[in-house]
Amino acid sequence: MALFPTNTPSPLAASSLGKSLKVSNEEFFQLRDFIYEQSGIFIAEARKYLVENRLSNRLRELNLKSFGEYYYYLRFDPNRRTELTKLFEVITTNETSFWRNPPQLEVFQNKVMKDELEKLRLARIKKLRIWSAGCSTGEEPYTLAIILHEVLKAEIGLWDIKITANDLSEAVLAAARRGIYSEYALRTTPKDIVAKYFRKDGPAYHVDPKLKRLISFGPTNLSDRAMLRRVERSNIIFCRNVIIYFDDEMKRQVIEAFYDNLLPGGCMLIGHSESLHSISRAFKPEHNSGTIVYRKEA
């Protein structure tokens, strides 16, 4: 989690400012369908309390008396676009950290990246595109930028590299662009890496500007097919801990878009608790020390 994010780090904590308002079943279904339609995020009925906890303060701020009124506000108010951005900030779960899932990153650094660079060198192509989809406050794309520096070393200057990092929430993207983090965000990052790529200023850790130069942060809604088609084609896609919030239909749609985006022979990495089982058979799964790399055949 980034330091000083503009949004509330845990929207659940916001509910402590006042008692949660109650959502009726009808209001819940209306809101749930609206959220799904706008973002692909599916909130199961058992998690109705999340809607109450996370949105009650927003209703108070807008002086609205019920979730029904809020639904009409989202649908018809002249400020509905701005409110949708706020809704995305409140409903998304932005939990992340640097060096998340170290065994997977080790496979990425020592196998996936090395093989990909070798393949590109042989083809005399010094261009690499990585897509971090659902990048939250930036820890994942910055981790990838560090790994690229570690693997390529001085040669990095000879490469045309871009990491496209997107998220639905504008607030997390603003924090990502600032690139200032707490020690907690770096808890699983090797100490020598912290010393090499961060400038410490009191309790804050600032990312090295050379990492920022490799990354292009921008808003993208994974439920918007047209938006996904505009993303430059990638050698590698990271989409970790994002599709768990989607239902199967939305997962299929997003994974298909990733498949289409990948260059032939490219690969995709997802979160360790996520699976493509019953979602897609298009990829060839490669098993490496407990990590699955999903490969698009060349």
Ligand X SMILES: C[S@@+](CC[C@H](N)C(=O)[O-])C[C@H]1O[C@@H](n2cnc3c(N)ncnc32)[C@H](O)[C@@H]1O
Of 21 and 180, nearer to ligand X (C-beta) is 180
Nearer to ligand X, 163 or 168 (CB): 168
Helices 25-39, 48-61: crossing angle, 10 deg rounding? 90
Amino acid type, 297: E
Interface residue list for ligand X (CB under 6 A): 39-41, 92-96, 100, 134-136, 140, 167-169, 172, 220-223, 240-242, 245, 271
Q: Which residues contact 229 (CB under 8 A, 6 or more apart)?
A: 257, 260
Q: How far is the CB of 97 from ligand X (least distance, A)?
A: 7
Shortest separation between residue 244's beta carbon and ligand X, angstroms:
8
Q: Which residues of 230-240 are buried (b: 16+ CB within 10 A; e: fewer)?
A: ebeebbbbbbb
Q: How far is the CB of 7 from ligand X (least distance, A)?
A: 10
User: Rounded to the nearest 5 degrees, what angle is found at the Cα of 275, between the Cα atoms of 240 and 95?
Assistant: 30
Q: What is the nearest approach in angstroms of ligand X to the Cβ of residue 208?
A: 20
Per-residue burial over 260-277, b = 16 or more CB atoms within 10 Å of its CB, e = otherwise? ebbeeebbbbbbeebebe
Integer angstrom CA distances of residue 108 from 75, 117, 195: 43, 12, 22
**Cβ-contact 275, 285 below 8 angstroms:** no
Q: How far is the CB of 173 from ligand X (least distance, A)?
A: 9
Nearer to ligand X, 20 or 93 (CB): 93
Q: What are phi and psi of 285, to 5 degrees?
A: -80, 130
Determine contact, residues 294/283, Cβ cutoff 8 Å: yes
**Least distance in Å: CB of 124 to ligand X?**
32
Specify the residue, 21 or 242, whose C-beta has the smaller distance to ligand X.
242
Least distance in angstroms from the C-beta of 151 to ligand X: 20
Residue among 113 and 165 whose Cβ is closer to ligand X: 165
| CB closer to ligand X, 50 vs 156 | 50
Kindly tell me which of 21 and 255 has the beta carbon lying closer to ligand X.
Answer: 255
